[in-house]
Amino acid sequence: MKKGVLLVNLGSPDAPTKKAVRPYLDEFLMDSRVIDAPKALRALLVKGIILNTRPRRSAKAYSKIWWDEGSPLIVISERFQEKLKKHIDLPIALGMRYGSMSIRKALQELHDQGIEDTLLVPLYPQYAMSSYETVVVKTLEEQQRHFPEMKITTLPAFYNQDDYIKVLGDHIAKELEDFEYDQLLFSYHGIPERHIRKSDPTKFHCKIDGSCCSINSVAHHSCYRHQCYTTTKLVGEHLQLEEDKIATSFQSRIAGDTWLKPYTDYEFERFAKEDKTRLAVVTPAFVADCLETLEEIAMEGEEEFVEAGGKEFKHISCLNDSDSWVALMAKWISHWEQHAKLPF
């Protein structure tokens, strides 16, 4: 069977304009794994309320980080794809969960090249129903509907893989070479607490208080909170960092629900008040810089920290298309290609 690879990331509007942002937000927020309310209520919230105000604000935010070449997330993902092609002698398609670069188009690209066996690579280190899971489900839906003869194998979440931890840790260390920090904050994308409970296959293990994370359970395979804290812990151990110098938080919450805590913006204020005035922030839920890293953290985050009394702020870039990250992904894909099984 002829093999190929499908890389999938979040997506982006086609332009930083209200007109372009509106359909993108509509698709994103109407995903039942993002806003998991009943469809009628979700439609009321999204189409009746959110889309009346949010597109203008989001377009303004996108315009602040937009590159001449286009959306940073798309540009970086395409650079990553092109670099990967130099390491792998397989067709590699790139799709996005939301937006015009659809998963169906990417599957069609592979199908047109005669691909029968595809490795799906969700570009998310941790498992969450609103990121990793929705990519897998959408891909399988498109495959079954349009390409039923194509076999799909999915790369698991890689949040705790030794080689990934080394690549991420070494990247962080390099970015911090010229920055002496009081605190290193690992800021992950936030999700509602109920998503943790819904993703728990045991329906009783996850307590969302930290006590459950140290008790081995099958629930850890789909527990985003556990996986985020594990990534922080393993990177800290790899870099031999003092425990009181690192922290974990969650960003990008929406009002009305209880989301995973501690909240990143609250931590900015807390650190400044505790006289930890030199702050470095890394965002390991993303492998490519995007709106949530470039605008929410690097711009708004720095402003919030300085207003609270902080002095120096360092945003650590995502792995993006770094050579070490490309080489690691090439290693994983090659293992699948040569041994007909997943690398982990």
- Residue 50: its pLDDT value, please? 95
- pLDDT tens for 164-185 read 999 999 999 999 999 999 999 9
Number of H helices, E strands in the chain: 13, 8
Q: Tell me the C-alpha distance between 284 and 159, whole Å.
A: 9
Task: Please tell me the pTM assigned to this model.
Answer: 0.96
Is the domain spanning 162-315 CATH 3.90.660.10? The answer is no
- pLDDT tens for 306-341 read 999 999 999 999 999 999 999 999 999 999 999 999
Look over the chain and give the mean of its residue pLDDT values, rounded to a whole number.
96
What kind and span of H or E run contains 24?
helix 18-29
- Which sequence spans correspond to the domains of the chain? 3-157+323-339, 162-315
Q: Which fold has domain 3-157+323-339?
A: Rossmann fold (3.40.50)
Percent of the chain at pLDDT > 90 equals 92
- pLDDT tens for 212-260 read 888 889 989 999 999 999 999 999 999 999 999 999 999 988 777 899 9
Length of the chain: 344
Token readout for 25 is: 């937000």
Fold equal for 3-157+323-339 and 162-315: yes
pLDDT at 48 over 90: yes
Q: How buried is residue 198: exposed, middle or buried, by Cβ count under 10 Å (0-12/13-18/19+)?
A: middle
- Residue 77: its pLDDT value, please? 98
Which 8-state DSSP code applies to residue 14? S
* 250 closest CA partner among 218, 294, 297, 316: 297
Cβ of 83: how many Cβ atoms within 10 Å? Answer: 18
